[in-house]
Chain A
């Protein structure tokens, strides 16, 4: 009770708060997808947003062909998984021994490549993906209007995060992933199959990308070649700000940047809202300066050398 009162005193707008949590939840899912692959490959996948874009196009085409939902959703998953595995095979695998900087530039190139292929194939105007449009309608709780998709996003994110945690903690492949993330060489010496553990990480990150694609197409049904590009840039910043060395800190970073973006977006007066990106990235730089290893990283952890 005192919580609600103090929040009311602070003038918190519940609508803004719920939307901010919703955005944070989606970004947290993306952060897990990026963080899982980083854990085993030490590779920051700039092209993660293009996986989501591909999934969104799959949904758009499914709705254009008026496929039922039970066909559209698996189609989306299939497209994202196929693209993700192809990316692993064609790009990540040959680059495995390179420095993180080279890998970042390489995935930057892949991101642009995929985006321009989408531009070439589907045009700049965008395609509507409207199968789940009804989720955009609001429900009223108390005197706050919340879009159904926000609730769905929060619930789905919580379920997915729980599933990932269970996978990491309770299954053999999860154990292998954690071992590989800690020390890949030693893990391999102890019998962890490198291709299998990387393949599973890539697969799980693709599942998350497809899930995010479904949520994002409900919130923003017009699918364009740069779909999810901005979100990916923000999440990458969030993941690095949170701390890439642990999946938990990366996830918290993703959630935090979504939450803060949502809050600032609601708090800024309309005239200044155009400067939201400056504010968010200014904060990102500030946090990186104070804690280069990550906001939620364990202190005393090893700092990356160049």
Chain B
């Protein structure tokens, strides 16, 4: 049914558009929150492409965001400024600088290539072994980016990257990522992979190669994550610590809270948690709500997001959206299965 597909793609895109429009009328100081939220959408949807469709947990996706950010960042810093902040670069990185769009494409390419290389051996694993191995990838990537100064700034902050990611670019980027994710999940590959998620034995029995399907999704997901990393490094000066455990936690939390088996869930989760997070960040700086002054101590944000994630997992493991795509059937036939929650 074409209309159903249109809604499944249209819903998430509309949410992104609404967030972008809200951001464009917001004050300059709050606009940053919206740009951040849109980048979170890109990262979480990238994570969803693999985790959601395959049902295999990955703690390693922030590695692909990180290499994407490194690739786009290193290649975007103007040549004359490179020696000052990255004195040990390889010559070919030192002598070349590309524009904004090429740098994002390169970020996607590097992210995808890295995911392919990592996935070739790792996709043979499943369950806990896969979880720990992807964690290992994150540790190794973080460790190398932090200390290997021939490919980036090492432990320093990535300064002097042109800050080209504005509201428009973040929104277009997020819509692009959603579009690719939707195209993938509607394709033959996406369907085969979801079949392996639902019943690996049955999928194998009809001739699906679990390994190959997971590898395809992992590579695509790595490319999207790399692209998101490119957008991210063009937004603000990053360092390796910003692309490590905390980001892994918060993006996984977004996916789980939204509902990790649907695109709709990934987008809803990313926007809902980002919205809450921004509100709490404001409250940490002191916020006035209707004459009531709220002033939360710094660090409250992660406590609340962590508690929320634990609560969702305990009370409703399928997430806010129930892990289903947006569909009008719910509203047409509310009697069959009442869904109490209203997304976002």
A240 adjacent to B139 (CB under 8 Å): no
B129 adjacent to A240 (CB under 8 Å): yes
A106 in complex: contacting residue of B55, B124, B146, B314, CB < 8 Å: B314
A275 adjacent to B144 (CB under 8 Å): yes
Residues of A within 8 A of B253 (CB): 109
A116 in complex: contacting residue of B122, B135, B302, B310, CB < 8 Å: B302
The CA of A110 and the CA of B309, in the complex, are separated in Å by 9
Interface of B is mostly: helix
B122 in complex: contacting residue of A108, A274, A285, CB < 8 Å: A285
B313 adjacent to A102 (CB under 8 Å): yes
Interface string of B109-124 (1 = CB under 8 A from A): 0000000000001101
Closest to B121 in A: A289
| B-side interface residues, number (CB < 8 Å) | 43
With A98-B317, A285-B133, A288-B129 in contact, is A109–B303 under 8 Å at CB? no
The CA of A131 and the CA of B279, in the complex, are separated in Å by 42
Residues of B within 8 A of A284 (CB): 132-133, 136
With A109-B306, A277-B139 in contact, is A101–B57 under 8 Å at CB? yes
Interface string of B132-152 (1 = CB under 8 A from A): 110111011001101100000
- Can you report 8 residue pairs joining A to B where beta carbons are below 8 Å apart? A101-B131, A116-B302, A236-B132, A274-B143, A285-B133, A288-B125, A289-B133, A305-B200
Which residues in B have some Cβ–Cβ distance to A below 8 Å?
55-57, 121-122, 124-129, 131-133, 135-137, 139-140, 143-144, 146-147, 200-201, 249, 252-253, 256, 297-300, 302-303, 306-307, 309-310, 313-315, 317
17 further A-B contacts with Cβ under 8 Å, apart from A109-B309, A277-B140, are: A101-B57, A101-B127, A104-B128, A109-B256, A109-B306, A109-B310, A112-B249, A116-B299, A116-B303, A237-B136, A274-B146, A278-B144, A281-B137, A282-B136, A285-B136, A304-B129, A306-B56
Which residues in A have some Cβ–Cβ distance to B below 8 Å?
44, 91, 94-95, 98, 100-102, 104-106, 108-110, 112-113, 116-117, 119-120, 233, 236-237, 240-241, 244, 274-275, 277-278, 281-282, 284-285, 288-289, 292-293, 304-306
